[in-house]
Structure 1
Amino acid sequence: MVRVEDMYAAAASAGLLVDAEVGGQIVAVDFRSPDETVLDGFALSADYSMRFPLSGLPNLAAGHTVTIGGAVYRVRDVRAIGDGSERRADLSLL
């Protein structure tokens, strides 16, 4: 059985992940910033999120800050994915 940490290690080796810094700790994460239509289609807004293995950031919670690519984000929400060994954090740009 493949562990989620093994999948993230393979994705990082292939250059598919970016580094995120949280409290001095650096973890490779799947960072996303897809555009979302807002104001009844008159504007676009980025919907920032990151996915990561629970073992990489076990204490990440709403209110923490994350630095990715020099930009600082505030964690809005953290949710478990699948069997709970992976997490998704919704972010907002500071």
Structure 2
Amino acid sequence: MKYSIDYQQLHKGALRPTDDGDIVGVEFDSESGFALIPNVGDVVNVPEMGGHSGVYGVVKSRLFTYTRVGADLYCGINIVVEDVDVDYGALIKE
């Protein structure tokens, strides 16, 4: 199975997330092994870099969409990150 992961930011007061395109650009297949993805409730901070938009906040939802093309099975994972007030200082000491 082949996987791709897309992140979308849900801004405060918005009903729907924004689609800023390719944020992280993660693609992998089940034969290549393991990929760690955040769960609902996890705090995510992906800064803007290399022309890609960033996301920050708490994971609100994950949607797994499966599609079969011929003999190949694909799974698209959409992760919505909600813009909430997070005390990052309470999460990590730098």
What's the TM-score, normalizing by structure 1?
Answer: 0.40
Which structure carries more relative contact order (alpha carbon 8 Å, separation 6+)?
A: 2
Query: Which one has a larger percent strand, Structure 1 or Structure 2?
Result: 1
Query: Greater Rg, structure 1 or structure 2?
Result: 2
More helix by share: 1
